[in-house]
């Protein structure tokens, strides 16, 4: 599969899911997204403070805001922010002296996210259009990078993690939820575009992800599997940091 084909398929799939979320009022964790937990990974008190559509449009496989240890005044970036649930939760944690950015390539998801931010009255939030392989932020401008089941969708994970290292400040943290493939994932699954857009086929193995973190200059890489989501993959919490 060519990188442009992967990107186009991912964009098309998530545009469709955005339409489902806005049109039907039901969770867009649907058929073909077996790794998607939607809002089930979040505390009820957190969901209650958000616009309903933020939860409906949630497509993650975990809750990175629960592991990022965000502090007031920090700048946080969510890669592949979708409908904005993790950006809005992060904005509340970093407070008015901090800032939460969301980066997404899908216009339909960005429209949902911006509407949710307006409805929530979140003044310390900004949603950016772009690709996670080319983050539109300056060097050393972010304290924390989070992501929720998105890095696996990229066709160039090494570039994504190099960009993470670039935008992180010294001592900055990387805390994401993503899918980790078993070492023996079969070639048929790897070639299946539906499995790719469903967050399985593009997943790195544990050793591959750790190697990419090291190559990007990130240290203290750690991967903790949390759930089995496929016969050949599991959801995991992944942490690392940029040396201070």
Q: Which residue, chain included where needed, has tokens 């048929």?
A: 188
Tell me which of 18 and 93 has the higher pLDDT.
Answer: 93
Range scoring the smallest mean pLDDT among 12-26, 120-134, 224-238: 12-26
Report residue 93's pLDDT band, with 50, 70 and 90 as the boundaries.
very high
Residues 6+ apart with CB under 8 A from 194: 32
Q: Is the pLDDT of residue 143 over 90?
A: yes
Mapping DSSP to helix (H, G, I), strand (E, B) and coil, where does residue 222 land?
Answer: strand
Return the pLDDT at 31. 46
What is the dotted CATH code of the domain comprising 3-241? Answer: 3.40.50.150
DSSP 147-174: EES-GGG-S-HHHHHHHHHHHEEEEEEE
Per the CB < 8 A criterion, the answer to whether 152 and 132 are in contact is no
For residue 30 the two structure tokens come to 């649907």
Average pLDDT, the chain: 90
């Amino acid at each position: 599969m060519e990188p442009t084909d992967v990107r186009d398929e991912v964009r098309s799939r998530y545009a469709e899911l955005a339409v489902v979320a806005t049109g039907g009022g039901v969770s867009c964790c649907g058929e073909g997204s077996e790794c998607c937990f939607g809002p089930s990974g979040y505390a009820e008190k957190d969901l209650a403070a958000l616009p309903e559509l933020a939860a409906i449009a949630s497509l993650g496989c975990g809750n990175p805001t629960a592991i990022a240890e965000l502090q007031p005044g920090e700048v946080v970036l969510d890669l592949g922010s979708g409908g904005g649930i993790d950006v809005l939760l992060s904005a509340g944690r970093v407070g008015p002296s901090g800032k939460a950015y969301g980066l997404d390539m899908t216009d339909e998801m960005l429209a949902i996210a911006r509407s949710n931010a307006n409805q929530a009255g979140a003044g310390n939030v900004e949603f950016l259009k772009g690709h996670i392989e080319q983050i539109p932020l300056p060097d050393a401008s972010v304290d924390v990078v989070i992501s929720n089941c998105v890095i696996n969708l990229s066709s160039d994970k090494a570039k994504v993690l190099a960009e993470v290292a670039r935008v992180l400040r010294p001592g900055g943290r990387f805390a994401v939820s993503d899918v980790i493939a078993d070492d023996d994932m079969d070639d048929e699954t790897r070639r299946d575009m539906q499995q790719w857009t469903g967050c399985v086929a593009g997943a790195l193995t544990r050793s591959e992800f750790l190697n990419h973190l090291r190559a990007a200059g990130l240290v203290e890489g750690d991967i903790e599997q949390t759930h089995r989501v496929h016969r050949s993959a599991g959801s995991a919490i992944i942490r690392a940091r940029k040396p201070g």
